[in-house]
Structure 1
Amino acid sequence: MLYQLHEFQRAMLSPLTAWAQAASKSFANPASPLAYVPGATRLSAGYELLYRLGKDYEKPEFNLHQIVKDGHNIPIIEQTIIEKPFCRLMRFKRFADDSDAVIQLKDEPVVLVCAPLSGHHATLLRDTVRTLLQDHKVYLTDWIDARMVPLEDGEFHLDDYIAYIQEFIRHIGAKNLHVISVCQPTVPVLAAISLMASRGEDTPRTMTMMGGPIDARKSPTSVNSLATQHSYEWFENNVIFTVPPNYPGVGRKVYPGFLQHTGFVAMNPERHAASHWDFYQSLLRGDEDDAEAHRRFYDEYNAVLDMDADYYLDTIRVVFQEFRLAEGTWDVAGERVRPQDITKTALFTIEGELDDISGDGQTFAAHELCTGIPEKNRRHFTAEKCGHYGIFSGRRWRTIIYPQLRDFILEHNKAPKVVKEKAEA
């Protein structure tokens, strides 16, 4: 019923937000007589703030169309390589006309970026992908909003997530692949590679774990505490709802995005209130750069997706309540997850000093589990004065963290032979 009430509220607010948007433009447009009434700037700013507080936020576009590399303009094309019911494997393919540039692009390492399935869309990693494209061929997991997946497409569990990752790794080719997992996927990605190693399959050359709950018992945050303070049944009875009839996934049990968003905001309500006030002040000052930065951030932050209930509840139990990976008690489709069986994949773990999502030591715990990896092939880095999102986005990511990640990948990369076929990479 809560989901239906949310949809009713959204429908009721839609005319108000449309009117607020029109009013804001009317008081700001120089061609409008309303722009010259006393207090027009304040009215325009107030109406825009009202519009942004009430509007729907759809999944943003990646908008990664071009990068500049060594003086060359490199066009970027988004490609869907594999399409599964709950995820699509994307590639951001780079093209060049210059023959030297083509050879250089073809020689660069291949990375698979495993985006989180924890509320936000994969577009949250836009800055991560844009930066990686300077020196790598980039693939990305783009998870589908569960409310858009029809019931006939079947169930989706944490075990299925792991199977997806393994399929993507095999398709790209593990021998010359570098896997990067950001936050939530660190656990299933480590499980996927562990199982492949145990079976004797090829495993990626490197795996980089960034700000994830490998062992959520270490330095527990408010996110971890929520999972341990409530029972599995509490989550099942209080946060799981049925998708209403106006979506393709009608009837599917999900953890709704709007509930997740409420939880995100509730973690730091003062910070968000101050941010909206600063946005209003920026509009009054005519500081369009600051105002646009606010719009870009909240266009992404407020765009959330529903998670399939089976997957979400599995994650609560396995990762945050029973700590099965850290305890060595996790079985996936009848196979025990044994990180100690990984021997040929180098490990890099990255944490943020100020991370309030994954606490200090939670990601480093991967080193304690992956005992089969020689010490010379393991590295850890803690970014000072860096919060959770700063690990993979923003100035510190680009100037401090990425150079270390790039060098780590290059150190362990085995460049494939170049075949001059066509001008693409």
Structure 2
Amino acid sequence: MLYQLYEAQRSLMEPFADFAQAASKLYGQGGVFGQAPLAQRMAAGYDLLYRLGKDYEKPEFDIKTVSVDNDDVVIQEVVEIDKPFCHLRRFKRFTDDPHTLQTLKAQPVVLIVAPLSGHYATLLRDTVRTMLQDHKVYITDWVNARLVPLSEGEFRLDDYANYIQEFIRHLQAEYGNCHVISVCQPTVPVLAAVSLMASRGEKVPLSLTMMGGPIDARRSPTAVNNLAMNKSYEWFENNVIYRVPQGFPGVGRRVYPGFLQHTGFVAMNPDRHASSHYDYFKDLIKGDDASAEAHRKFYDEYNAVLDMDADYYLDTIRTVFQDFNLVNGTWEVKSPDGTLELVRPQDIHSTGLLTVEGELDDISGAGQTRAAHELCTGVPSTHQRHYEVKGAGHYGIFSGRRWRDKVYPEVKAFIAAHDTPQKRAGRPTVSAEDTIKAAAATKTTVVARKSAPARRKRGASR
């Protein structure tokens, strides 16, 4: 019933938000009432009301170009594998400069595993944009569970680990090898996925970079950890799980709704958010467009949330934060054929392991990510590295100035140290990404389709 009430309230607020937006424009600079007394304050007030009442949709990555060797490289997004709960998204790069072309061909392949913990994968936009300067980049773009029909079945933490294995195999088949970066929540299922591949004797990624994740949530527990550990499994099932109402493809699916997650995010730092919105109001009055736009960009991302499948969420609560199955060596993952396999990180031998933590991280406490080194005893110490980012909070380790100036150079160097030449067995030695030259993305798409000898398969069934 709560979900239905929320949707009813959202529908009721929509016309008021539209009115506030229109009124803000009327009182704004160049508007009909723009020269009226207190017009700027009226415009700022209505604009703030609009942003507090509007519905926030999934943002776009909106990465059009990046600079490689001082050359602007065009970016085109392609969904390479289309799964019910996740899209493997590729950021293809195009250039007409021969020197840059050779640089692109030799760069490492990286799979970025975005968190499925409330926000969309676009939260890692800065991570992707920075990585594209020196790497071929793919990312897991998780689907809002309320958009997934019940006919697609359930989605559990085991399925998450199986998705990651499928994506890694896809990149290995395409390039011969790859590197994996996991940010926050996925550090646990990614470590499980690579462990299972190692135990079977499969080829594993060349390196694993784990950033700010709860490998061992018992260490330096934060407020987030304490909530998950101190409430019972039944409490979460009874208090935060609801069914998707009519009007969505996933009607009837049990989910942890995004609006409840967003309430929890805000409740962690209510004073900070109130102050931020008041500062935004003052920036509008002062005409500080740069600061106001920075506020909009942040909250366009922060306020856009997705529903998580209930089975996946509850599995995560129990496995990661209550039973600590990974660190206790008791986690068994069900493979797609129904076989239970024990997760054994000690079976990983040839993969480089880099862990990154923020000194001021209030979501994943100190030592939680570093615990991966104690589990991966088969990895030589010379292939392991831990990096603590001084002065960085949770978001600072993958976005913003500290990410670009401090963390990225470490990640880039670690990947380069563990990279090997790419082998594109069964395919031309030069990819469509590396050969097609274009000045515009639309033209590039047409040329790429004509010149590529074969299209890659999208999805496991095609």
Q: Distance between the aligned counterparts of 1:256 and 1:247, measured in 2?
A: 13
Q: Distance between the aligned counterparts of 2:91 and 2:297, measured in 1?
A: 21
| Aligned: 1:349 with 2:355 | yes
| Aligned: 1:73 with 2:79 | no
Q: Distance between the aligned counterparts of 2:415 and 2:229, measured in 1?
A: 36
- Aligned residue in 1 for 2:178: 177
| Aligned: 1:88 with 2:98 | no
Normalised TM-score (structure 1): 0.98
Query: What secondary structure, in the 3-state scheme, does the structure 1 residue paired with 2:140 have?
Result: strand
Query: What secondary structure, in the 3-state scheme, does the structure 2 residue paired with 1:45 have?
Result: helix
Query: What secondary structure, in the 3-state scheme, does the structure 2 residue paired with 1:42 have?
Result: helix
Query: What secondary structure, in the 3-state scheme, does the structure 1 residue paired with 2:90 have?
Result: strand
Q: 1:27 to 1:160 in 2, by over 3 A?
A: same
- Aligned residue in 2 for 1:260: 261
Answer yes or no: is the 8 Å Cα contact 1:99–1:423 preserved in 2.
Answer: no
Q: 1:424 aligns with which of 426, 434, 455?
A: 434
The amino acid of 1:279's aligned partner reads: Y
| Deviation, structure 1 residue 421 | 6.2
| Aligned: 1:113 with 2:112 | yes
Question: After superposition, what is the alpha-carbon deviation per residue over 1:316-352, rounded to whole angstroms, capped at 9, x for unaligned?
Answer: 0000111110111101111110000000101000000
Query: What secondary structure, in the 3-state scheme, does the structure 2 residue paired with 1:68 have?
Result: strand
Answer yes or no: is the 8 Å Cα contact 2:92–2:433 preserved in 1.
Answer: no
- Aligned residue in 2 for 1:21: 21
Q: 1:335 aligns with which of 341, 344, 348?
A: 341
Query: What secondary structure, in the 3-state scheme, does the structure 1 residue paired with 2:248 have?
Result: coil
- Aligned residue in 2 for 1:219: 220
Question: After superposition, what is the alpha-carbon deviation per residue over 1:153-192, rounded to whole angstroms, capped at 9, x for unaligned?
Answer: 1110000001100000000107521100000000000000
The amino acid of 2:234's aligned partner reads: E
Answer yes or no: is the 8 Å Cα contact 2:68–2:100 preserved in 1.
Answer: no
Q: Distance between the aligned counterparts of 1:133 and 1:108, measured in 2?
A: 10
- Aligned residue in 1 for 2:457: none
Answer yes or no: is the 8 Å Cα contact 2:93–2:433 preserved in 1.
Answer: no
Q: Distance between the aligned counterparts of 2:297 and 2:229, measured in 1?
A: 34
The amino acid of 1:336's aligned partner reads: L
Q: 1:269 to 1:423 in 2, by over 3 A?
A: closer
Total equivalences in the alignment: 424
Answer yes or no: is the 8 Å Cα contact 2:357–2:388 preserved in 1.
Answer: yes
Q: 1:421 to 1:231 in 2, by over 3 A?
A: closer
- Aligned residue in 2 for 1:411: 417
- 1:318-333 paired onto structure 2 within 5 Å: 318-333=319-334
Q: 2:402 aligns with which of 396, 404, 412?
A: 396
- Aligned residue in 2 for 1:144: 143
| Aligned: 1:313 with 2:319 | no
Query: What secondary structure, in the 3-state scheme, does the structure 2 residue paired with 1:176 have?
Result: coil
Q: Distance between the aligned counterparts of 1:402 and 1:421, measured in 2?
A: 26
- Aligned residue in 2 for 1:125: 124
Q: Distance between the aligned counterparts of 1:31 and 1:201, measured in 2?
A: 64
The amino acid of 1:269's aligned partner reads: P
- Aligned residue in 2 for 1:3: 3
Answer yes or no: is the 8 Å Cα contact 1:258–1:304 preserved in 2.
Answer: yes
Query: What secondary structure, in the 3-state scheme, does the structure 2 residue paired with 1:173 have?
Result: helix
- 1:269-308 paired onto structure 2 within 5 Å: 269-308=270-309
| Deviation, structure 1 residue 297 | 0.1
| Deviation, structure 1 residue 99 | 2.0
Question: After superposition, what is the alpha-carbon deviation per residue over 1:77-102, rounded to whole angstroms, capped at 9, x for unaligned?
Answer: 00111000000001001111122211
- Aligned residue in 2 for 1:135: 134
The amino acid of 2:120's aligned partner reads: H
Deviates more, 1:412-421 or 1:248-257: 412-421
Q: Distance between the aligned counterparts of 2:327 and 2:44, measured in 1?
A: 50
Q: Distance between the aligned counterparts of 1:357 and 1:171, measured in 2?
A: 32
Q: Distance between the aligned counterparts of 1:312 and 1:295, measured in 2?
A: 29
Q: 1:4 to 1:373 in 2, by over 3 A?
A: same
Query: What secondary structure, in the 3-state scheme, does the structure 1 residue paired with 2:369 have?
Result: coil
Q: Distance between the aligned counterparts of 2:229 and 2:89, measured in 1?
A: 35
| Aligned: 1:358 with 2:358 | no
The amino acid of 2:2's aligned partner reads: L
| Aligned: 1:61 with 2:60 | yes
Percent pairwise identity: 65
List alignment gaps of at least 5 residues for structure 2: 335-339, 436-462
Q: Distance between the aligned counterparts of 1:36 and 1:213, measured in 2?
A: 54
Q: Distance between the aligned counterparts of 1:417 and 1:23, measured in 2?
A: 59
CA RMSD, 1 decimal: 1.1
Q: Distance between the aligned counterparts of 2:39 and 2:393, measured in 1?
A: 38
Question: After superposition, what is the alpha-carbon deviation per residue over 1:47-103, rounded to whole angstroms, capped at 9, x for unaligned?
Answer: 000000110000001001111222211000001110000000010011111222111
Question: After superposition, what is the alpha-carbon deviation per residue over 1:339-382, rounded to whole angstroms, capped at 9, x for unaligned?
Answer: 00000101000000000000000000000100000000000000
| Deviation, structure 1 residue 29 | 3.6
The amino acid of 2:256's aligned partner reads: Y
Q: Distance between the aligned counterparts of 1:63 and 1:421, measured in 2?
A: 23
List alignment gaps of at least 5 residues for structure 1: none
| Aligned: 1:377 with 2:416 | no
Q: Distance between the aligned counterparts of 2:431 and 2:265, measured in 1?
A: 48
Normalised TM-score (structure 2): 0.90
